[in-house]
Amino acid sequence: MIRPVLTEFGIFLIPFAVYALFLAATRSGLFARSSWPVTIVARLALVALALVIAGLIGLAHFSGGGPESTYIPAHIDNGKFVPGTEK
């Protein structure tokens, strides 16, 4: 459960990292308060939320089995562990 949360948190941070790289490349003062106005941070947050929503939709759409698949839970067969599968 922690992996999807950390993945989405990383996706949220992408726009801020790109903007920080832009500031570093232009030598505009990465840590200067004037380089991070509220309007820019708000736009970055909106883009980040859009990326997170797109990531969640993609995760829900492309992960897991198909609608007609049947989940076979993990079980022990002749003393061997058989992981769960979808057929």
pLDDT in tens, 25-67: 999 888 999 999 999 999 999 999 999 999 999 988 888 777 7
Q: pTM, whole model, 2 decimals?
A: 0.72
86: left (phi over 0), alpha (psi -120 to 50) or beta: beta
Q: What is the pLDDT of residues 58-84, one digit of tens each?
A: 988 888 777 788 889 999 999 999 999
Packing angle, helices 38-62 and 2-26, rounded to 10: 140
